[in-house]
Structure 1
């Protein structure tokens, strides 16, 4: 089997246009932002996050929306604007000043350099400058009880995550149910349908955010060669062969920790903070290589802390091998793309 091309990803999510968010001064092949570019979907917040994206040293920067970015979801924005005028007598000119007109946020992003690609839901293909091909499935949609923010559907309703088996990387705003999705209230906030779709496709990497306190990485080994009839984290993950790479529980001291454990965690967190990111590598020569159809690396890359006044969490840097491009005439200094019809 032909060896793939080592590709470095920078993963982040839920920056919410906050001050103090820093990205590593590290050249990577692909940067991915998994949504919640803003906190209140205001124009100046998009400008803040776009400036952050421009500072990343990557020839390809992939961006999706999150539920907080509701002005990118035109029907939701129109409904919120109508409600603001009807119930709170907010003048239309004030709305336009803060949020822009419908479509303005899209236009702002589209004016960015060619390296920044804003993806709608679906499958997208990229030819990378390092000579690799990258197939991505993207979706900003998350379940919610009320479904009154951007790109949401009511929990319990059906949403079709059409991920096919040749997808390398799945990018969603929210997590799948059962993986890096436990909330501060000790409930699982992920989506069952998303987990089932990922379990059937078994991509190399699935990155997301949304549940801030779920920050972390886990290399999942799948059970058997085929998914179960109704995939879930109970039936389809081989936990004995899977490994947690890092979570907040491994770097943040807890009240129940011994004094020695607290010191170890404090030292670990200090070291990672000084480096500015958490790195993990899963190439063919590594100790835990990613194996297509057998393993998936899940990463919750939420930057905003789950605690209201907590410090920003760390972005992730991931090394993986992607299939070599079949285009002999590929330019090695840029990335090109196309989207599935």
Structure 2
């Protein structure tokens, strides 16, 4: 008897984009679970007033779907929510370990930490296998080239954590210029930024397939 598989749809950095969210509602029909890797809200000031409204609109748009999210450095929302992943969570047969913090940026945004702080925060985490690591920031050197200088902007501490704890998959966003899927040492890495979502089928604790789904025409 074939084991039941689950289909996860990973998205990130929608930034309250109406086109992205409209398309997401269509694509979500193909998935069992939608997981957003952060930066749900748009750049409309004042952030502390508009961002809770953006988040609520996103949640309402996905009503009827099983979905979860973490927050990113451009999400000025601080309240807890039943759909927000803040600790180790089991979905089906897979554990999800969320991490919302990012390396220091030039923009003085939310949830920024030094590499030393990130390393300390991750040092005590030891999720059970099989698990998916969902962070906002990418690991250093993997799907993390961006900015005006087009250089590596990922986190060394996050990279160390991934190769030490070995999730079956690491889903993230943050760096809009480097969406895609790569496999390093048997671990799947997905940058789901800015309209580049990924539909992932998982069966018996392993990644069975990955398909990129664009959230724009």
2:208 aligned residue: none
C-alpha distance in 2, partners of 1:69/1:300? 18
Query: TM-score normalised to the size of structure 2?
Result: 0.78
**Could you tell me how far apart the structure 1 residues matched to 2:64 and 2:169 are?**
18
Q: Tell me what 1:153 maps to.
A: 113
Contact 2:94-2:131 within 8 A present in 1 as well: yes
Distance 2:204 2:60 in 1: 25
**Counterpart mapping for 1:164-243 below 5 A:** 164-184=127-147, 185-220=149-184, 222=185
Q: Is the 1:168–1:322 contact (alpha carbons within 8 Å) kept by the matching residues of 2?
A: no
More displaced stretch, 19-28 vs 39-48: 39-48
Deviation, structure 1 residue 155:
4.2
The answer to whether structure 1 residue 135 and structure 2 residue 135 are counterparts is: no
More strand, by proportion: 2
User: Which residue matches 2:85?
Assistant: 119
**CA displacement, residues 110-166 of structure 1 (integer Å, 9 cap, x when unaligned):** 3xxxxx61022x32223xxxxx32211101001105684221112454443224351
Could you say what the CA RMSD is over the residues aligned between the two structures, in angstroms? 2.5
C-alpha distance in 2 between matches for 1:159 and 1:192? 12
User: What's the counterpart of residue 299 of structure 1?
Assistant: 190
CA contact (8 A) 2:136 2:174 kept: yes
Does the aligned pair in 2 maintain the 1:167–1:201 contact within 8 Å?
A: no
Contact 2:70 2:84 in 1 (8 A): yes
SS of the residue aligned with 2:30?
A: coil
- Asked if structure 1 preserves the Cα contact closer than 8 Å seen for 2:51 and 2:76, the reply is no
Cα distance in 2 between the residues matched to 1:188 and 1:153 = 17
Among candidates 87, 104, 107, match of residue 144 of structure 1: 104
- 2:11 maps to 1:8: no
* Structure 1 unaligned residues grouped into runs of 5+: 73-105, 111-115, 127-131, 223-294, 304-312, 324-341
Q: Pick one of 66, 75, 89 that aligns with 1:60.
A: 66
Q: d(CA) in 2 for partners of 1:175 and 1:163?
A: 19
Once residues 36 and 177 of structure 2 are traced to their aligned partners in structure 1, the CA distance between those partners, rounded to angstroms, is 17
- Aligned length in residues: 194
Give the conservation status (yes or no) of the 8 Å contact 1:176–1:191: yes
Deviation, structure 1 residue 60: 2.4
Structure 2: gaps spanning 5 or more residues: 206-217
CA contact (8 A) 1:70 1:151 kept: no
SS at match of 2:71: coil
In our comparison, the structure showing a higher alpha carbon Rg is 1
